[in-house]
């Protein structure tokens, strides 16, 4: 499974770019007891006046606010999935965690209303230190190696040679998000694109080889990438000899022949009355990651599940071990989604406006240097077969300047109709991927809403 994210930051104007010194963290943070630092309560940004600069003199320079209540880190994931699912009835695949990690880094560079909106939509605490530690824990968990699965997680911030981001931003990205700044010449698009694509292809084991092209790099100053690749084998693998053709109800009146896999073993399962659906947990080897499959009992029941996604987590906590006869279609598809409008609908608006504020990225930020988000694109793919799963996703966020029952009885789960699934890191309960299979016979799809 692969998740990849990148931000392309476009800005007019130039400044000197400095290589981040290896001792930056110590010089910036000092001892661990000095790691605190945040901003005062956020308020509506004031109108921009001629000759006004947007440097925030208090950026990361004041004491942290008191820790707030524990944030609901699932809220963003479920809301994003629900909004994308409502756009059509086709297959879709998202990487909520991938997008969230990228937006978290962007939030670190933001101030004022820009940061306030991102923080609210992402469900973050007001305490910046708490958010940083949360993501540091998530990343540390994902980076633990195991012979039972493959998971490569990497982040990088490419910085135009003429740019001059704040060293504090670089230090925080390194310390808490395991992300380093790398100088690059975006004015030489062929070389820059090759360098970026080679790095991504290496981490994703060749699954994604062309994340960016030369046109994507026009006027770019900073590009933030987050890449997640996961390949897992089922704890209870499907017997290839049991794989056979069957009918999948794309709609109540339309059936398509697809290949179904079958396995009968002990799984955690529940019959959800709330959703009138069966919920099945299918662990991968090592039990750290699992796929959850939600199959409605009726041919037209999936919209009910997707509409109530915010209430799915409590139902997942009701699973009990049962003997389950599982019949699941093999599927392999890719999906592209433009998420600009979705994020706007969710409340991220200021980041797309000319008055967006990202002083952590562009020091000074005069009127000619204002950065704003121009697009958010995610490209994803997944393959599920008898042995396990491979999924991959690429998210691009571009910023431009303003111009531009009993066990013996057993139960059956027959996924022969549209169903919902998610892949979760069981340690941190983070959603690596969420998706819907409406037609297992299709191999690609696109969601475009701008």
Please name the residues in contact with 78: beta carbons below 8 A apart, sequence gap of 6 or more. Answer: 309, 310, 312, 313
Instruction: Mention the CATH class of domain 2-13+57-62+71-232+333-400.
Output: alpha beta
Please name the residues in contact with 450: beta carbons below 8 A apart, sequence gap of 6 or more. Answer: 338, 340, 341, 375
- Separation of CA 206 from chain center: 20
- Reported as a pLDDT band with limits 50, 70 and 90, residue 334 is confident
Instruction: Tell me the two tokens of residue 127.
Output: 């305490």
Could you give the CA distance from residue 7 to residue 439 in angstroms, rounded to a whole number?
Answer: 32
Judge whether residue 167 has pLDDT over 60.
Answer: yes
May I ask the CATH architecture of the domain 236-330+405-448? Roll (2.30)
Judge whether residue 47 has pLDDT over 70.
Answer: no
- Separation of CA 95 from chain center: 4
Judge whether residue 49 has pLDDT over 60.
Answer: no
Q: What's the confidence (pLDDT) of residue 66?
A: 29
Name the segment(s) of the chain with CATH classification 2.30.39.10: 236-330+405-448
pLDDT tens figures, 190-203: 999 999 889 888 88
Q: Is 362 helix (H, G, I), strand (E, B) or coil?
A: coil
157 strand-pairing partners? 181, 224
Q: What's the confidence (pLDDT) of residue 33?
A: 42
Q: 107, 109, 128, 129: which is closest to 118 by C-alpha?
A: 107
**Local structure of residue 38 (DSSP, 8 states):** B
Q: What is the mean pLDDT of residues 30-45?
A: 39
Phi, psi of 197 (to 5 degrees): -65, -35
Q: 46, 161, 181: which is closest to 109 by C-alpha?
A: 181
Could you give the CA distance from residue 379 to residue 395 in angstroms, rounded to a whole number?
Answer: 6
Q: Taking a C-beta distance cutoff of 8 angstroms, is the pair 392, 229 a contact?
A: yes
| Number of neighbouring beta carbons within 10 Å of residue 273 | 8
Q: What is the mean pLDDT of residues 418-428?
A: 94
Name the segment(s) of the chain with CATH classification 3.30.497.10: 2-13+57-62+71-232+333-400
292 strand-pairing partners? 281, 422
């Amino acid at each position: 499974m692969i998740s990849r994210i990148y931000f392309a930051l476009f800005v007019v104007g130039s400044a000197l770019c400095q290589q981040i010194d290896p001792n930056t963290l110590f010089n910036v943070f000092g001892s661990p007891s000095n790691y605190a630092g945040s901003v005062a309560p956020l308020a509506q940004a004031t109108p921009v006046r001629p000759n006004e600069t947007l440097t925030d003199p208090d950026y990361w320079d004041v004491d942290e606010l008191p820790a707030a209540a524990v944030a609901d880190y699932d809220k963003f994931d479920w809301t994003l999935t629900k909004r994308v699912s409502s756009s059509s009835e086709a297959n879709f695949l998202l990487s909520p965690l991938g997008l969230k990690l990228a937006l978290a880094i962007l939030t670190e560079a933001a101030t004022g209303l820009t940061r306030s909106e991102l923080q609210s939509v992402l469900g973050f605490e007001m305490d910046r230190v708490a958010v940083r530690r949360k993501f540091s824990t998530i990343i540390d968990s994902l980076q633990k190696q195991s012979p039972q699965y493959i998971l490569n997680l990497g982040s990088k911030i490419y910085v135009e040679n003429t740019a001059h981001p704040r060293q504090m931003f670089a230090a925080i990205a390194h310390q808490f998000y395991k992300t380093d700044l790398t100088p690059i010449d975006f004015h030489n698009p062929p070389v820059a694109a090759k360098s970026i694509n080679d790095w991504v292809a290496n981490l994703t084991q060749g699954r994604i080889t062309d994340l960016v092209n030369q046109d994507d790099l026009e006027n770019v100053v900073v590009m933030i990438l987050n890449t997640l690749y996961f390949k897992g084998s089922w704890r209870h693998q499907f017997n290839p000899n049991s794989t056979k053709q069957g009918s999948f109800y794309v709609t109540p009146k339309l059936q398509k022949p697809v290949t179904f896999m079958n396995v009968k073993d002990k799984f955690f399962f529940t019959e959800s009355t709330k959703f009138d659906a069966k919920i099945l947990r299918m662990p991968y080897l090592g039990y750290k990651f699992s796929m959850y499959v939600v199959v409605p009992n009726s041919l037209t029941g999936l919209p009910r599940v997707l509409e109530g996604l915010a209430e799915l987590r409590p139902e997942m906590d009701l699973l009990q071990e049962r003997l389950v006869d599982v019949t699941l279609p093999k599927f392999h598809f890719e999906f592209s989604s433009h998420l600009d409008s979705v994020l706007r609908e969710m409340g991220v608006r200021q980041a797309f406006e000319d008055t967006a504020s990202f002083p952590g990225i562009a020091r000074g930020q005069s009127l000619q240097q204002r950065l704003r988000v121009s697009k958010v694109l995610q490209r994803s793919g997944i393959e599920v077969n008898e042995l396990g799963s491979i999924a991959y996703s690429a998210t691009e966020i571009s910023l431009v300047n303003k111009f531009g029952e009993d066990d013996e009885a057993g139960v059956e789960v027959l996924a022969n109709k549209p169903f919902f699934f998610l892949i979760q890191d069981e340690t941190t309960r983070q959603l690596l991927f969420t998706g819907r299979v409406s037609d297992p016979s299709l191999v690609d799809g696109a969601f475009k809403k701008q």
